């Protein structure tokens, strides 16, 4: 999952006082979890959990920055083939393992992105201490990959038979724009009936899509030596005007039902101290779940830059870095919340002992591979892998024991949503 302000966004996109309690349809029950074949699969996780942790460490140690997931993909492919899944690797590098059902059910997709944000050459040594694993990428998203493989083994070992097909996908390039999942959905438009992205921390269940626009705002002019620079068009002045202007663009209040946020991040320009730079640029990160608000704020930001460029007599160009559309406000996604997929995931977590506390159990936002399905109208959620923190840093860590819950989620969601009909 990209380094986002998602968790802090929840506090103003979904103020606690505005969260309504309601009853929603579900496909999960305690009786389902007590079926012998389901009990056997859950027991497999407990009996083999230390092996899962060892594999988790092994996966973490395989370098996989976005665009360089090949070695990790090869490992995942080999494990899926050993399980007897129908395995393919598509043209962008996604690893797909399909487990056929007996028919008459819906196709359920689990997706765990293989890539990390850490560049090649990063020290990926994993330290285990006090019930935690510490290493770059150990939480985001190596934990999800390990959970998914462990759950697939448990389901296979128990001989679970389902009506619907279950597809496990290790996706590429999630961190740089959800590219792998978008590619797979574009090439398999009628395959998934439901999609579960394995990403983030345990709870709440995300069933929406946070719109994320990443842009590079670029200003250009002829440049000049400092000695002859007075009064000449200046890209740095234009960029400065634009940055200050952007931060004057009003945002919804923190108590608004739907919020938004923007940030100027990377600044670049110039090659020497003693000259007007010919090119200056900066990046903008804009986010909200509201499509109308997203478009309006984006237009305002671009207009601010165009005005600054005109006033300074320089050229302006906006270059897209990444463009992920917004899934909709909570009101607009009311029908998505009512889909059994969402409440089933909530009920599974609660059955496994997870306590949502005062937080909402489900939120109409998200910043994972599930976004690509949400904006295509496919019922989709993201569910967490474990507890952890400091993701996208070299001090990243993950709680070991809660990965057990993250793994068992997959088994129970499979039994409920792909409709278990017994065991072999």
**Predicted local confidence at residue 424, as pLDDT:** 86
Topology (CATH level 3) of domain 6-209+327-423: Aminopeptidase (3.40.630)
- Residue 5 is predicted with a pLDDT of 41
Whole-number pLDDT of residue 136 = 98
Q: Where are the domains of the chain?
A: 6-209+327-423, 211-324
Full-model pTM: 0.91
- Give residue for tokens 């989620």: 409
**What number of other Cβ atoms are within 10 A of residue 359's Cβ?**
14
**C-alpha–C-alpha distance, residues 50 and 249, integer Å:** 52
pLDDT of residue 322: 92
First and final C-alpha spacing in the chain: 37
pLDDT of amino acid 252: 96
Confirm if 141 and 114 have CB atoms less than 8 A apart.
yes
Q: How far apart are CA 163 and CA 158, in angstroms?
A: 16
Residue appearing with tokens 């919340």:
337
Report the pLDDT value the prediction gives residue 22, as an integer from 0 to 100.
72
C-alpha closest to that of 28 among 364, 424, 416, 422: 416
In Å, what is the CA distance from 202 to each residue of 41, 152, 363, 366? 21, 19, 13, 13
pLDDT tens, per residue, the chain with 424 residues: 444 444 444 444 444 334 445 799 999 999 999 999 999 999 999 999 999 999 999 999 999 999 999 999 999 999 999 999 999 999 999 999 999 999 999 999 999 999 999 999 999 999 999 999 999 999 999 999 999 999 999 999 999 999 999 999 999 999 999 999 999 999 999 999 999 999 999 999 999 999 999 999 999 999 999 999 999 999 999 999 999 999 999 999 999 999 999 999 999 999 999 999 999 999 999 999 999 999 999 999 999 999 999 999 999 999 999 999 999 999 999 999 999 999 999 999 999 999 999 999 999 999 999 999 999 999 999 999 999 999 999 999 999 999 999 999 999 999 999 999 998 8
**Predicted local distance difference test score (pLDDT) of residue 4:** 41
Say what the pLDDT of residue 16 is: 39
- What confidence score (pLDDT) does residue 11 get? 43
CB atoms within 10 A of CB 81: 12
CA separation for the pair 81, 96 (Å, rounded):
10
User: Is residue 204 reached through a cis peptide bond, with omega within 30 degrees of 0 on the bond before it?
Assistant: yes
Taking domain 211-324, whether its CATH number is 3.30.70.360 is answered by yes
């Amino acid at each position: 999952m990209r380094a986002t302000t998602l968790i802090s966004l929840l506090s103003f996109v979904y103020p606690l006082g505005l969260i309504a309690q309601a009853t929603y349809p579900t496909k999960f029950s305690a009786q389902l979890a007590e079926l012998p074949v389901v009990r056997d699969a859950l027991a497999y996780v407990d009996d083999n959990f230390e092996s899962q942790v060892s594999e988790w460490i092994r996966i973490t140690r395989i370098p996989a920055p976005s665009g360089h997931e090949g070695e990790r993909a090869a490992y995942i492919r080999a494990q899926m083939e050993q399980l007897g899944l129908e395995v393919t690797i598509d043209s962008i590098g996604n690893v797909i393992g399909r487990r056929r059902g007996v028919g008459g059910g819906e196709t359920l997709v689990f997706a765990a992105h293989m890539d990390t944000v850490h560049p090649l050459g990063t020290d990926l040594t994993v330290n285990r201490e006090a019930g935690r694993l510490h290493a770059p990428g150990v939480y985001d998203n190596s934990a999800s990959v390990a959970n998914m493989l462990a759950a697939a083994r448990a389901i296979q070992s128990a001989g679970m038979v389902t009506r619907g097909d279950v597809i496990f996908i290790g996706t590429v390039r999630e961190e740089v724009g959800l590219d792998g999942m978008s590619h797979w959905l574009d090439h398999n438009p009628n395959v998934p009936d439901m999609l579960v992205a394995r990403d983030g921390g345990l709870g709440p269940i995300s069933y929406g899509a946070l719109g994320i626009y990443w842009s590079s705002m670029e200003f250009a002019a002829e440049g000049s030596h400092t000695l002859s620079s007075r009064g000449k068009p200046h890209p740095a002045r234009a960029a400065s005007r634009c940055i200050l202007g952007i931060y004057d663009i009003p945002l919804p209040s923190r108590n608004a039902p739907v919020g938004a946020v923007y940030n100027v991040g990377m600044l670049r320009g110039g090659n020497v101290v003693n000259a007007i730079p010919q090119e200056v640029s900066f990046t903008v990160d804009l986010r909200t779940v509201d499509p109308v608000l997203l478009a309006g704020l984006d237009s305002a930001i671009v207009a601010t830059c165009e005005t600054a460029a005109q006033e300074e007599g320089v050229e302006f160009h906006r270059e897209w870095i990444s463009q992920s559309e917004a899934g909709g406000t909570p009101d607009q996604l009311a029908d998505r919340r009512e889909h059994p997929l969402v409440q089933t995931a909530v009920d599974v977590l609660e059955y496994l002992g997870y306590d949502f506390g005062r937080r909402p159990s489900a939120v109409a936002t998200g910043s994972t591979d599930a976004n690509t399905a949400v904006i295509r109208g496919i019922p989709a959620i993201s569910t967490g892998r474990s507890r952890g923190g400091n993701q996208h840093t070299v001090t990243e860590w993950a709680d070991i024991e809660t990965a057990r819950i993250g793994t068992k989620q997959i088994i129970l969601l499979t039994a409920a949503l792909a409709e278990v009909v017994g065991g072999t």
